[in-house]
Amino acid sequence: MNLRVRALVSMIGVFLLLPALGGTARATSAGEVVEARATTVYLAPGRLLEVPVKAWHLRYRSTSATGQPNVVSGTLLVPAAPYLLGRRPVVGYAVGTHGLGDQCAPSAAMANGTEAELAIMSLMLLKGWAVAVTDYEGLGTPGDHTFMAGLAQGHAVLDSIRAAVRVPDANLSDAAPVVVMGYSQGGSSAAWAAQLQPSYAPELRLRGVAAGGVPADLRAVADHLDGTGNFGLAAAAGLGLDAAYPELRLESHLTPEGAALFGDARDDCVSDLRAKLGGRRLPELTTTDVLNLPDWRVRLAENRLGASASKAPLFLYHATGDEIIPYELGRTLRRDYCARGANVLWTGVPAGSHVLGAVEGAPLAVAWLATRVAGLPAVGNC
């Protein structure tokens, strides 16, 4: 075989292997729409008070925390009125913790009139922006929800935006200005989207990212929640990381009681997670110091935000009285981003709880995002 023929055969082999190796062939399919089905969204239970938007339930291609192709679901909301200020902006909206079962997915909640965060989305819909809401990996699609696996969540947010502009009847442009917003789990997802966008979705015209109540360091959050009424959220994160990274083998480190409790939690929504696991401690449900096992330490470190800077401006906000995600974690994330040259505007919201931080911080975040959409300079306070 001469050198020219051998080189041609080698090139063909490389292209055939790209999907398996995680190369360009797979990356370009991220954001591809698998299904876009018209749906109706309601503001109140009992399917009352229909939201006056065009809405689609989406299934789209994305990428797992370990770089494997997957399919994620979500909902696209587009105001019915024309947008008169140019290309309609697109928001990648990342919801806070809903739970682990498919019935907890934001798409299901919006279709049933039980999605509380529609109040925040409405602030953006009223500005004429399209809102793409991911359900995240495994929440509304087969498999376990990879709750708090940052890479998977960031990918799901960015790919929801890619999918949104590919829905033909939505009439959105791939040259539209893009912003991202989220709080709590959504704040983590938004921050991960900001960190990942330059390499994962560089074509998106990302103008700014607003992230609130961010659980930037999962190990610190787990230690903080151990033995509290919100321990169920830490347990859910353990299950989510275990679903994302099979080598963690959480079940092999649980006591019989722990195995029963964690197994029962796999399809619970957030209220049941709190009720069933509130007040418990990880050491009493495990046979070893799980979080200090080498594999767990590696994955927890991998999922710690702040190791790289966003190219897009960031608005970070955190409730000063946050009982779930300590305020100091938000301040540390700000310092980490500032040290890496990010353009960060930080504010402490004078709210006495995690939930109130979302309520009081959302209007500030949306107002800041509006200045990004308008193309105004982003002024930071590093």
Could you give the number of structural domains in the chain? 2
Task: Give me the pLDDT at residue 353, please.
Answer: 97
222 and 184 part of one domain: no
74 and 151 part of one domain: yes
HSE, CB side, 13 Å, CA atoms: give it for residue 278.
Answer: 10
Instruction: Indicate the range of 40-54, 55-69, 190-204, 356-370 predicted with least confidence.
Output: 40-54
Contacting residues for 178 by C-beta, under 8 A, at least 6 apart: 89, 90, 91, 92, 161, 204, 205, 206, 207
pLDDT exceeds 80 at position 2:
no
Q: What is the pLDDT of residues 13-23, one digit of tens each?
A: 322 233 333 33
132 and 81 part of one domain: yes
pLDDT exceeds 90 at position 280:
yes
pLDDT exceeds 80 at position 10:
no
Query: Containing domain of residue 252, as a range?
Result: 218-300
Domain-embedded: residue 24: no
Domain-embedded: residue 57: yes
Q: How far apart are CA 220 and CA 235, in angstroms?
A: 14
313 and 294 part of one domain: no
Domain-embedded: residue 225: yes
Are the C-beta atoms of residues 227 and 279 closer than 8 Å to each other? yes
pLDDT exceeds 70 at position 26:
no
Task: Give me the pLDDT at residue 21, please.
Answer: 30
Domain-embedded: residue 2: no
Residue 375: strand, helix, or coil: coil
Q: What is the pLDDT of residues 208-256, one digit of tens each?
A: 999 999 999 999 999 999 999 999 999 999 999 999 999 999 999 999 9
182 and 245 part of one domain: no
Q: What is the pLDDT of residues 61-107, one digit of tens each?
A: 999 999 999 999 999 999 999 999 999 999 999 999 999 999 999 99
| HEC sequence for 85-127 | CCCCCEEEEECCCCECCHHHCHHHHHHHCCCCCHHHHHHHHCC
H-type alpha helices, the chain: 3-21, 24-27, 106-112, 118-125, 150-164, 185-200, 218-225, 231-244, 256-265, 270-277, 294-302, 327-339, 354-373
54 and 159 part of one domain: yes
264 and 116 part of one domain: no
241 and 192 part of one domain: no
Domain-embedded: residue 271: yes
CA-to-CA separations, 107 to 55, 73, 103, 117, 340, in angstroms, rounded: 10, 8, 9, 12, 36
pLDDT confidence tier of residue 48, bands split at 50, 70 and 90: confident
339 and 259 part of one domain: no
Domain-embedded: residue 17: no
Last residue of a domain, one of 271, 300, 329: 300
Last residue of a domain, one of 300, 317, 340: 300
Task: Give me the pLDDT at residue 145, please.
Answer: 98
115 and 141 part of one domain: yes
Are the C-beta atoms of residues 48 and 42 closer than 8 Å to each other? yes
Domain-embedded: residue 382: no
Last residue of a domain, one of 237, 268, 300: 300
Mean pLDDT, the chain, rounded, equals: 93
CATH of the domain at 47: 3.40.50.1820
134 and 272 part of one domain: no
Task: Give me the pLDDT at residue 15, please.
Answer: 28
- Is the pLDDT higher at 332 or at 26? 332
Q: Which amino acid is at 360?
A: E
Chain centre distance of CA 211: 10
pLDDT confidence tier of residue 5, bands split at 50, 70 and 90: very low
169-196 mean pLDDT: 98
Domain-embedded: residue 20: no
CATH of the domain at 285: 1.10.260.130
pLDDT confidence tier of residue 28, bands split at 50, 70 and 90: low
Contacting residues for 163 by C-beta, under 8 A, at least 6 apart: 31, 32, 33, 58, 60, 74, 76, 132
- What pTM value is reported for the model? 0.92
Task: Give me the pLDDT at residue 47, please.
Answer: 86
184-202 mean pLDDT: 98
Task: Give me the pLDDT at residue 192, please.
Answer: 98
Q: Using alpha carbons only, how large is the chain's radius of gyration in Å? A: 21
62 and 138 part of one domain: yes
